[in-house]
Amino acid sequence: MTRRQRVAVVVVAVVAVAATLAGGVVRNLPVLGGLALALAGLLFVVAGIVADARRPDTVIGRLLAAVGLSWSLSAALTNAPNRFLFTLGLVLFPLGLAGLGHLALVFPSGRASSSLERLLVRVPYGMALLGLPVIDAGECPECPGNLVGIDIGRGFGRAYYSGLLVAVLITTVAVLVVLVRRWSAASPVARKVLLPVLPGACVFAAAYVGGLLAELGLPSGLGDRWAVLVYGLLAVAPFVLLGGLLRARLARANVGGLVVELGDSSPSGSLRESLARALDDPTVEVAHWVPDRGLYVDAEGAVVDLPVADPRRSVTLVERGGRRVGALVHDAALRDDPALVEAVSAAVGLAMENERLHAEVLARLEEVRASRARIVQSADAARRRVERDLHDGAQQRLVSVSLALGMARASLGAAPDGALGSLLDQAAGEARLALKELRELAQGIHPAVLTEAGLAAALESLAERSPVPVEVVGVVDGRLPAPIEAAAYFVVSESLVNAVKHAGASAVSVRLGRDDGHLRVEVSDDGAGGARVLPGSGLEGLADRVASLDGRFELVSGPGNGTLVKVELPLGEIPCP
Amino acid sequence: MAVTVLIVDDHEGFRAVARRLLEDQGLEVVGEAADGAGALLQVAALRPRLVLLDVQLPDTDGFAVADRLAVTHPETVVVLTSVRPASDYGARLPADSARAFLPKAELSGPALLGALGAAR
């Protein structure tokens, strides 16, 4: 309905209420019953307009307004002096009742879901028209009378009336059965949507059945009081329907909360919980679309198969900028509120896109970390190769030269042949020195002992060659992955060099330990302290090397308090050589 | 009778110098091998009293060859040698009487015979 149509409907209903009152007063008719009906109609109209504004996608709002309008007009027209208008007023009341049944059957989607339901929607309208001749015009001598009215006191009229009552009874019972079955088959989520309306409609239909039984003179328990109950329930009906609609509005307000919640960059996984709250559906599932693999996965990366032919589950695709981001799998009852699901999936699109970008950034970071580790390891491998080349080439040849010189000197025999002998001695000495320097050079590039014998032997050899006493505490049994051994070794050797060269330490202590999958190395000295990790320094190189293995590097070096280097290296994923 | 020696080293230059050095000092070099496989064949064929065995070999390492010889020819004394000092090999050099270590730079007939003496 447009805004203008809504205003017009309300104006007509208000005018009908006024006309009921005025007509009754002017023509001196009993106004109370008519006024109650007109006001109840107005309530339905207002509820219908609110419903239509909230849910223009379903026929519910318009149907409510139509029911209300028909009752308001029924009240007003049965006060009219004209016989045709009076008769029209008479038939509008049962037509409104048929509309009420229609409402109960199609709430909340506005569509009948089976051919039986479609039949039960239509039949009462026909019965309302067929019933016009037997509608009781009431004890009203002033009224113009029913244009097509027949006497129901006897003969054909009596039979027609009774037959119609039985038909209405059967139809109402059928509606009641359909409503009860719908309720018992509904999922918990669906029941939340149906809660005030469907059970209310069942009670109303049951009361109506009771009233019909009483009218037919059959045992019905309450006798004439059924009529009071039916009209009482009728007065409550618009409030029940409005209540149901307000619940829907509250659900919509959840979408606003969801948008705020998702904006809070909540950790992955809570997206599902936020959604469950917003949709009031604890069974909701979030499926992320993986374009590379052409399938959906959940937050843990497990493949999700979207339900295809499950009447209780429904799928809403989530798109963003025309691209598929994922899908929500939820209770089929939520299909009755497509606007809510649409709003939620729009809000979720942003969050899912964020989740995907977050995952991508993490993957990139992982790539960078892996490549950093590879760079360090390939540098180590290159140094090992250089050391090996020196060993296999220059060092071997120099040893042979040195031995040959020794033999040449020896072949001169005991007779010291002046110049040649001393020349050979000098050459042998130079060769020995060159060999020693070359060995130290190779050692500095990459210690052979680390490759050959492992960390423990390498540290022992470091301690032996150190100019200051080095105490090594703790043992690491067996071999560790090469990058770990190299990192631990260089931490100790670099710290030793710093302790001796820069801090003037007189003693150094090395502590080794292995626990919870970590190798811990601590090097402390009694030197001057005040060491800092400066750009391009050896300590920075150590920190980088440790970081490349996801380790922890700590430097404690207050001036005058010595220096402590603490390193923790995870032994996890790196394979042993 | 002179002590027989087999020299195992992949460096031809070193083998030549070592052969001369040892022969000059009264040992009998009965053969040479350039790798681990050759060493095992030569020991079986020549039955030397002593094997001068380089740690670094192209096909395997001296430790593996020494382990094998200790089983097949327990009477043969193995002297491992390397450009590197013994400390570079740490615990891989057990204090085993049938397996001495001599840095290449210190190679001499008396040093080899000393190792042989220790083995007896």
- CA angle centred on A191, ends A317 and A175, rounded to 5°: 110
Tell me how far apart the alpha carbons of residues B94 and B81 are, in angstroms, rounded to a whole number: 14
How near does any CA of chain A get to the CA of B31, in Å? 19
Query: Is A403 part of the contact surface with chain B (CB cutoff 8 Å)?
Result: yes
Contacts of A399 in chain B (CB under 8 A): 14, 83, 104-105
In the structure, what pLDDT confidence band is assigned to residue B108 with cuts at 50, 70 and 90? confident
Q: A228: number of CA atoms within 13 Å, CB side?
A: 4
How near does any CA of chain A get to the CA of B28, in Å? 17
Q: Which two tokens stand for residue A128?
A: 């309302």
Task: Give the global pTM.
Answer: 0.54
- What ipTM, to 2 d.p.? 0.89
Mutation target for A interface from B87, B92, B93, B107: give the one with most A CBs within 10 A: B87
**In 3-state terms, what secondary structure has residue A494?**
helix
> Tokens 């001068």 sit at which residue?
B52
How near does any CA of chain A get to the CA of B47, in Å? 26
Phi/psi of residue A497, nearest 5 degrees:
-60, -45
**CB neighbour class for A295 (10 Å; exposed up to 12, middle 13-18, buried from 19):** middle
Is residue B98 scored above 80 in pLDDT? Answer: no
Q: Which two tokens stand for residue B68?
A: 């094998």
Instruction: List, for residues A443-471, the tens digit of each pLDDT value.
Output: 888 888 888 888 988 998 889 888 999 99
| Closest to A376 (Cα-Cα) out of A573, A547, A553 | A547
Contacts of B91 in chain A (CB under 8 A): 453, 457
Tell me how far apart the alpha carbons of residues A33 and A235 are, in angstroms, rounded to a whole number: 12
Of B20, B88, B107, the CB nearest to A449: B88
Over A509-568, what HEC string results?
Answer: EEEEEEECCEEEEEEEECCCCCCCCCCCCHHHHHHHHHHHCCCEEEEECCCCCCEEEEEE
Of A391, A402, A448, the CB nearest to B105: A402
H-type alpha helices, A107-224: 115-130, 155-185, 188-194, 197-215
Residues with Cβ within 8 Å of B107's Cβ and at least 6 positions away in sequence, in order, are A403, B18, B21, B52, B81
Contacts of B86 in chain A (CB under 8 A): none
Are A303 and A295 in contact by the 8 Å Cβ rule? The answer is yes
pLDDT in tens for each of the 577 residues of chain A? 888 988 998 899 899 888 888 877 777 666 677 788 888 888 889 888 888 887 777 788 888 899 999 998 988 888 888 888 888 888 898 899 899 889 888 887 788 888 898 999 999 999 988 888 888 766 667 778 788 888 877 788 888 888 888 898 899 899 889 988 888 887 777 777 777 778 888 888 888 888 888 877 777 666 667 777 777 787 777 777 767 766 655 555 566 666 666 666 555 557 788 788 777 788 888 888 888 878 888 877 778 888 888 878 888 888 888 888 888 888 887 776 677 777 778 888 888 877 777 777 887 888 888 888 888 889 889 998 999 888 888 899 999 999 999 888 888 876 666 788 888 888 989 999 999 899 888 888 888 888 888 898 899 888 988 899 999 998 887 888 888 999 999 999 999 999 998 888 899 999 999 888 899 999 999 988 888 888 888 889 899 999 999 899 999 988 888 899 999 999 875 544 4
Query: Is B12 part of the contact surface with chain A (CB cutoff 8 Å)?
Result: no
Query: Is B90 part of the contact surface with chain A (CB cutoff 8 Å)?
Result: yes
Number of other residues whose CB lies within 10 A of the CB of residue B30: 18
Are A508 and A525 in contact by the 8 Å Cβ rule? The answer is yes
Is residue B112 scored above 60 in pLDDT? Answer: yes
Determine the average pLDDT of the residues in B105-116: 85
How near does any CA of chain B get to the CA of A396, in Å? 6
Q: Which residue of B has its CA nearest to A408?
A: B21
pLDDT at A511: 94
Query: Is B83 part of the contact surface with chain A (CB cutoff 8 Å)?
Result: yes
pLDDT at A259: 66
pLDDT at A39: 85
Of A392, A399, A460, the CB nearest to B104: A399
Determine the average pLDDT of the residues in B10-19: 92
Touching B: A residues 458-477, CB under 8 Å: 458, 460-461, 464
Query: Is B64 part of the contact surface with chain A (CB cutoff 8 Å)?
Result: no
Query: Is B84 part of the contact surface with chain A (CB cutoff 8 Å)?
Result: yes
Of B13, B84, B89, the CB nearest to A397: B13
Cβ contact, residue pair B89, A452, below 8 Å = yes
Mutation target for A interface from B10, B15, B17: give the one with most A CBs within 10 A: B17
How near does any CA of chain B get to the CA of A471, in Å? 18
Contacts of A397 in chain B (CB under 8 A): 11, 13
Is residue B97 scored above 90 in pLDDT? Answer: no
Query: Is B17 part of the contact surface with chain A (CB cutoff 8 Å)?
Result: yes
Which contiguous run of DSSP H or E holds residue A323?
Answer: strand A323-331
Of B11, B88, B89, the CB nearest to A396: B11
Beta-carbon contacts below 8 Å between A and B: 72
pLDDT at A257: 67
Cβ contact, residue pair B13, A439, below 8 Å = no
